Amino acid sequence: DGGITQSPKYLFRKEGQNVTLSCEQNLNHDAMYWYRQDPGQGLRLIYYSQIVNDFQKGDIAEGYSVSREKKESFPLTVTSAQKNPTAFYLCASSPGQGRPYEQYFGPGTRLTVT
């Protein structure tokens, strides 16, 4: 089955530690995205990547880093510089050509930092 996987589903970390969230897709989609969702709020874009080895900052990139070494993978690192890292993190991908704006989401990772 084609889809987007994120792991782990729940993640707990101590303040001051960096943590990397995994996102993998086997849909052969060109573009991938990371969002953050806080309770009662809409999704906010952290980073996005249109092609391999290229990515752009979204609206709230500070304290986060990404890489796109393979088309299938777009890991997100939440660094200790991120002031409020506890949130629901969602990865998405889109076909790119033809339907560049339709995005499909993975199941998300709930990160709790104490």
Partner 1 sequence: RKEVEQDPGPFNVPEGATVAFNCTYSNSASQSFFWYRQDCRKEPKLLMSVYSSGNEDGRFTAQLNRASQYISLLIRDSKLSDSATYLCVVNAGGTSYGKLTFGQGTILTVHP
Phi, psi angles (nearest 5°) of residue 60: -135, 55
Give the shortest CB-109-to-partner 1 separation in angstroms.
Answer: 10
Q: How far is the CB of 4 from partner 1 (least distance, A)?
A: 9
4, 105 contact by CB (below 8 A): yes
For partner 1, the binding residues (CB under 8 A) are: 31, 33, 35, 40-45, 48, 50, 58, 88, 90, 94, 96, 100-108
Pick 38 or 69: Cβ nearer partner 1: 38
Q: What are the distances in angstroms from CA 113 to CA 45, 78, 93? A: 20, 10, 26
Which is closer to partner 1, CB of 16 or CB of 84?
Answer: 84
**Total residues found in the chain within this entry:** 114
